Amino acid sequence: MTSCDDVDLILAVGAVSGGFQDDDLKTVRDHVPGCARCRRSAADYTATADLLGVAVEQVPPPAGLRARILAEVYATSPAGAAVVARQAARTPPAPSLRGRLARLWRSVPSGRGFTLGGALAAAAAVALLVVSVTRGGGTAPLSSPVSASIAQPAVQGSFTYYPQTQTGVLSVRGLGPQPAHVYEIWLLRSATSVTPAGFLTQQPDGSWTAAIHGSISGYAMVAATVEKPGGVSRPTSDPVLTASLPST
């Protein structure tokens, strides 16, 4: 029969080592549940060992780690699934949007070069960068900055696309609240093709994010407009932000 002292030693070693060897595990399972003293020891040793982790010297994590984790989180969150559902439920816009789109592109500050041609040129430049990035396997996140509009000049942020999960994350700061309205996201393929892609959601820290699921191949730009709650099937206002999309 195993004594409490024997078990106590096993518990101490297991707490530091992250688990038990098979023989020790059987001993622990046989003894500890019915022994208050050893249950207490297990709690004490585990709580103490768990504290050891906080004492390590700080090493900065890789820059892309946060984005990788959050892309997976947003891709598997109920909110992300809702975005996909909304995209699937919506009818593609009619070609008569040409005038609206032309206005949409032009409304971005000219100093930033966001005419249609400028945007496509920017997309091409990003594409060149992407080619160099993706030669190694094509799974590295692709990011492009957000450009502000005249209406909301303080907007900053980025659009990051994760080829491996085919998920895009639009993350924006400096966007003002819009009481009784929403920020709707649009993917623009060309001046005659715009697709609703969900909504920006305000985070408790004041930033706004949106997850866009599915391939962005063929799209040139993402934009956001202020729309009525629930969204609309085509833009009814000028964009408050835009970002060129990287080629995939």
Partner 1 sequence: MIASDDRVLALLAEERPEAMEVLYDRYGGLAYSLAYRVLQDAGAAEDVVQDAFLSIWRRADSYRPERGSLRTWLCSIVHHRALDRLRGRAGRARTDLPLEGAPAGDGVPDMFETVSLEIERDHVRSALVELPADQRQTIELAYYGGYSQSEISGLLGVPLGTVKGRTRAALRRLRTALEGKGLGEVTT
Q: Residue 153 phi/psi, 5° resolution?
A: -70, -15
Complete DSSP assignment for 173-189 = ESPPP-TT-EEEEEEEE
Burial class (CB in 10 A: 0-12, 13-18, 19+), 51: exposed
Smallest separation (angstroms) from partner 1 to the CB of 61: 4
Kindly identify the residues of this chain, within the stretch 137-176, that bind partner 1 according to CB under 8 A: none
Kindly identify the residues of this chain, within the stretch 32-91, that bind partner 1 according to CB under 8 A: 32-33, 39-40, 42-62, 65-66, 68-70, 72-74, 76-80
Q: Residue 184 phi/psi, 5° resolution?
A: -100, 140
**Closer Cβ to partner 1, 139 or 217, answer by number:** 139
Smallest separation (angstroms) from partner 1 to the CB of 167: 12
Residue selected from 95, 137, 179, 204 as contacting partner 1 according to rule CB under 8 A:
204
Residue selected from 95, 111, 136, 205 as contacting partner 1 according to rule CB under 8 A:
205
Smallest separation (angstroms) from partner 1 to the CB of 2: 15
- Structure tokens, 91: 């009818």
Task: Determine if 8 is a binding residue for partner 1 (CB under 8 A).
Answer: yes
Q: Residue 230 phi/psi, 5° resolution?
A: 95, -20
Smallest separation (angstroms) from partner 1 to the CB of 57: 7
* C-beta separation of 126 from 158 below 8 A: no
Nearest Cα to Cα of residue 226 among 155, 174, 151:
151
Give, rounded to a whole angstrom, the gap between the first and last alpha carbons of the chain.
Answer: 65
Residue selected from 87, 115, 158, 209 as contacting partner 1 according to rule CB under 8 A:
209
DSSP tag of 51: H
Residue selected from 1, 3, 18, 88 as contacting partner 1 according to rule CB under 8 A:
18
Task: Determine if 238 is a binding residue for partner 1 (CB under 8 A).
Answer: no
Residue 138 and residue 163: Cα distance in Å, rounded? 7
- Structure tokens, 75: 């891709």
Smallest separation (angstroms) from partner 1 to the CB of 89: 22
Residue selected from 2, 25, 110, 124 as contacting partner 1 according to rule CB under 8 A:
25
Which residues make up the interface to partner 1 (CB under 8 A)?
A: 8-9, 11-20, 22, 25, 28, 32-33, 39-40, 42-62, 65-66, 68-70, 72-74, 76-80, 203-205, 209
